[in-house]
Amino acid sequence: MSDTTLTSAPPAHGVGLSDTAAAKVKSLLEQEGRDDLRLRVAVQPGGCSGLIYQLYFDERMLDGDATVDFGGVEVIVDKMSVPYLDGASIDFEDTIQKQGFTIDNPNAGGSCACGDSFH
């Protein structure tokens, strides 16, 4: 009996990326002149509420990473972060009050005032 999972595509994750956020990521990648980078989303212990979001460009693909392509923008999530981010959506705000990526996460039981940390 052969194991076909070794050659199959990486699993998908439940994180969404808005069209606005995807366009911003593409713009940033063009500014960097790189086409080998992916947008990595992760959670790690820390912050005032217990877990903190990480959002950064990464050229690596790690064992167990889940990936989804959003019109040429590849979003990857490590296997430990997938359950915490399932159903979360990433958007980009560009208003007079705030500019930056936002994460709306239905799994967060509560967050701190800064909005970067949750539990």
Kindly report, residue by residue over 107-117, the tens digit of the pLDDT. Answer: 877 655 555 55
Delineate the domains of the chain, giving CATH numbers in brackets.
12-109 (2.60.300.12)
Kindly report, residue by residue over 11-22, the tens digit of the pLDDT. Answer: 789 999 999 999
Predicted structure pTM score: 0.80
Residue 25 dihedral angles phi and psi, to the nearest 5°: -60, -45
Kindly report, residue by residue over 24-74, the tens digit of the pLDDT. Answer: 999 999 998 988 999 999 998 876 667 888 999 999 999 999 999 999 999
Q: How many CA atoms lie within 13 A of 42 on its CB side?
A: 16
